[in-house]
């Protein structure tokens, strides 16, 4: 680990990275989407995934191959790359899903890890126990022990150049997730990628805040350079959120499973093909068909076309996320995506709860900060500025913090810009204090500005501060320290006039 994963650009906890996969001889750019390929139901051929969608990595189930009379021997003799006609990296899963669905599987952990090695998997997975959300603590802890033991045993097998996943389980108990992650991370060179498992029930239940809590707990236990796979995250509506939480790999069975049910993915949710009169998309499928035309195709063809649209929209969203990381406006993208569903708002807010963790990796300078909603006041840039104010020493005996005019009665005048608060003159043209804000600001922006004033006042107890404002909300004024003198500006400073 470390040598195989390199982080190039970051925004919040989100990052663009390069995952080197030695056995395939390829380097995969992350965040990456791994389409799930079921050998028995190839809705879209792996070669087409590569040629038409740019897939650099796919995932297939090693246990299904192990059990398949049709494919087992071919996989062993030809190897996965030839069997699938795919030149990128191929990840294999171990049968944990079948274990959780049916209660047992007919292979041992060691056998399935060796099998994955023998069929030429690039990244193999030991058998983990996907403890569902809300499981009792004792059950989650004891199943986690099995997962740990299986990962340990897998790390003891000579797997050659095959990389190894160390699945992180622990149900919805953050302390278990964190300790599982810390143990796997401390193992040294044994593990390469860290999938956060058993989150599909959370995603299917729209429990995005709980999903983020689980991811954050795992990330706390892992080193910041550890590649994280959010197992089963295949809906494009949550890519921005999951990437902002620091997930590097996603896998999509959704593109094919949803297509089978006539469901059409968008970045803001799922539509049913029966309900659509127009396609809100310009991918090759949607450009060449109308919904009515698509419905007229034979079932198999319709399913493939829908799966292709679902893949197009997923890869487009992944590129959108990467471009946002590159430009430093992942939070702006996230604000827009979060508005697609109330549960997404919860997920976004759960992420912002840990502004300190986001702030640690956030670049100091980006494009322009857009203040788009009350949630913007909780972005890591705001808490970073407040931390800076808490360390600043103010020259002079009296300072006016002003939302508008100056006053010669004071030694200095600093601008007051919600949500950041006081702006040191030397920084007034620096990111993020050049933020674009609506004139009709939310109360939270003023309250955050008041918190910034408090930090500066606490750090400079000998300086007399005054705040000159126009119509700040009472709650924000009440949050100012008592020692601050209040001056009300004239109505000419009303930004909405
Ligand atoms: Zn489309």
Residue 239 confidence (pLDDT): 97
Question: d(Cα 196, Cα 185) in Å, to the nearest integer?
Answer: 13
Cα-to-centroid distance, 303 and ligand 1 (Å): 13
Token pair for residue 256? 């094919």
Is 253 found in the same domain as 104? yes
Is 428 found in the same domain as 329? no
Is 345 found in the same domain as 376? no
Is 253 found in the same domain as 156? yes
Among 317, 349, 381, which residue terminates a domain? Answer: 349
Is 179 found in the same domain as 75? yes
Is 307 found in the same domain as 242? yes
Whether the pLDDT of residue 1 is over 50: the answer is no
Is 68 found in the same domain as 95? yes
Which pTM was predicted? 0.92
On whether residue 297 sits in a domain, the answer given is yes
On whether residue 455 sits in a domain, the answer given is yes
Average pLDDT value over all residues in the chain:
94
pLDDT band with cut points at 50, 70 and 90 for residue 2 = very low
Cα-to-centroid distance, 347 and ligand 1 (Å): 26
On whether residue 355 sits in a domain, the answer given is no
pLDDT band with cut points at 50, 70 and 90 for residue 12 = confident
How many domains is the chain partitioned into structurally? 2
On whether residue 259 sits in a domain, the answer given is yes
CB 327 within 8 A of CB 65: no
pLDDT digits (tens, 9 = 90+) for 106-140: 899 999 999 999 999 999 999 999 999 999 999 99
On whether residue 361 sits in a domain, the answer given is no
Cα-to-centroid distance, 323 and ligand 1 (Å): 20
In 24-104, where does DSSP find H-type helix?
Answer: 46-53, 62-67, 72-78, 80-84, 96-102
Residue 181 confidence (pLDDT): 97
Lowest mean pLDDT among 98-102, 154-158, 248-252, 276-280: 98-102
pLDDT digits (tens, 9 = 90+) for 284-311: 999 999 999 999 999 999 999 999 999 9
Is 276 found in the same domain as 422? no
pLDDT digits (tens, 9 = 90+) for 302-350: 999 999 999 999 999 999 999 999 999 999 999 999 999 999 999 999 9
Among 349, 379, 411, which residue terminates a domain? Answer: 349
Q: What is the CATH number of the domain that holds 323?
A: 3.20.20.105
On whether residue 362 sits in a domain, the answer given is no
Would you tell me how many other CB atoms lie within 10 Å of the CB of residue 374? 16
Question: d(Cα 448, Cα 430) in Å, to the nearest integer?
Answer: 19
What percent of the chain clears pLDDT 70, i.e. is strictly above it? Answer: 100
- 411 annotated active-site: no
Q: Where are the beta strands (DSSP E) in 76-221?
A: 89-93, 123-124, 163-164, 194-196
DSSP structure string for 193-217: BEEE-S-HHHHHTT-HHHHHHHHHH
Is 206 found in the same domain as 70? yes
Is 77 found in the same domain as 139? yes
Among 349, 380, 403, which residue terminates a domain? Answer: 349
Cα-to-centroid distance, 279 and ligand 1 (Å): 7
Token pair for residue 71? 């494919």
pLDDT band with cut points at 50, 70 and 90 for residue 416 = very high
Residue 3 confidence (pLDDT): 83
Is 389 found in the same domain as 292? no
Active-site option among 52, 82, 85, 93: 93
Q: Provide the domain limits for residue 102.
A: 5-349
On whether residue 190 sits in a domain, the answer given is yes
Lowest mean pLDDT among 21-35, 298-312, 344-358: 344-358
Give me the mean pLDDT over the 410-433 stretch: 94
Is 164 found in the same domain as 126? yes
Q: How many CA atoms lie within 13 A of 380 on its CB side?
A: 27
On whether residue 356 sits in a domain, the answer given is no
Cα-to-centroid distance, 419 and ligand 1 (Å): 39
């Amino acid at each position: 680990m470390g040598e195989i994963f390199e982080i190039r650009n970051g925004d919040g906890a989100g990052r663009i990275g390069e995952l080197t996969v030695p056995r395939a001889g390829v380097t995969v750019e992350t965040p990456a989407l791994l389409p799930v390929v079921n050998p028995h139901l190839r809705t879209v051929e792996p070669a087409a995934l590569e040629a038409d969608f740019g897939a650099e990595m796919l995932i297939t189930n090693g246990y299904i191959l192990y059990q398949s009379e049709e494919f087992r021997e071919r996989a062993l003799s030809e190897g996965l790359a030839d069997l699938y006609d795919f030149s990128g990296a191929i990840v294999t899963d171990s049968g944990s899903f079948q274990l959780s669905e049916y209660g047992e599987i007919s292979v041992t952990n060691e056998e399935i890890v060796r099998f994955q090695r023998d069929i030429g998997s690039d990244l193999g997975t030991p058998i983990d126990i996907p403890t569902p959300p809300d499981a009792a603590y004792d059950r989650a802890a004891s199943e986690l022990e099995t997962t740990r033991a299986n990962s340990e045993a897998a790390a003891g097998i000579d797997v050659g150049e095959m990389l190894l996943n160390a699945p992180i389980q622990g149900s919805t108990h953050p302390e278990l997730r964190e300790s599982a992650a810390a143990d796997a991370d401390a193992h040294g060179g044994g593990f390469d990628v860290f999938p956060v498992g058993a989150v599909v029930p959370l995603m299917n239940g729209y429990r995005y805040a709980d999903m983020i809590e689980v991811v954050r707990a795992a990330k706390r236990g892992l080193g910041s350079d550890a590649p994280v796979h959010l197992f089963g995250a295949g809906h494009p509506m949550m890519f921005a959120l999951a990437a902002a939480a620091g997930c590097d790999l996603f896998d999509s069975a959704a593109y094919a499973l949803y297509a089978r049910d006539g469901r059409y993915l968008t970045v803001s949710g799922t539509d049913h093909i029966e309900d659509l009169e127009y396609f809100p998309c310009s991918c090759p499928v949607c450009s060449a068909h109308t919904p009515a035309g698509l419905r007229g195709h034979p079932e198999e063809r319709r399913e493939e076309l829908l799966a292709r649209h679902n893949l197009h929209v997923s890869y487009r969203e992944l590129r959108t996320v990467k471009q946002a990381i590159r430009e430093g406006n992942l939070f702006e993208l996230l604000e827009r995506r979060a508005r697609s569903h109330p549960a997404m708002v919860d997920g976004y807010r759960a992420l912002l709860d840990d502004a300190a963790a986001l702030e640690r990796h956030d670049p100091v300078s980006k494009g322009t900060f857009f203040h788009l909603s009350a949630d913007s006041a909780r972005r890591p840039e705001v808490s970073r500025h407040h931390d800076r104010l808490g360390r600043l020493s103010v020259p002079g005996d009296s300072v006016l913090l002003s939302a508008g005019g100056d006053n010669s009665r004071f030694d200095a005048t600093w601008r007051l810009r919600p949500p950041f608060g006081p702006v040191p003159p030397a920084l007034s043209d620096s990111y993020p204090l050049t933020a674009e804000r609506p004139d009709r600001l939310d109360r939270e922006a003023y309250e955050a500005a008041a918190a910034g004033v408090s930090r500066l006042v606490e750090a400079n107890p000998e300086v007399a501060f005054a705040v000159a404002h126009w119509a700040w909300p009472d709650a924000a004024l009440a949050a100012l320290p008592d020692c601050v003198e209040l001056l009300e500006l004239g109505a000419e400073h009303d930004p909405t006039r």
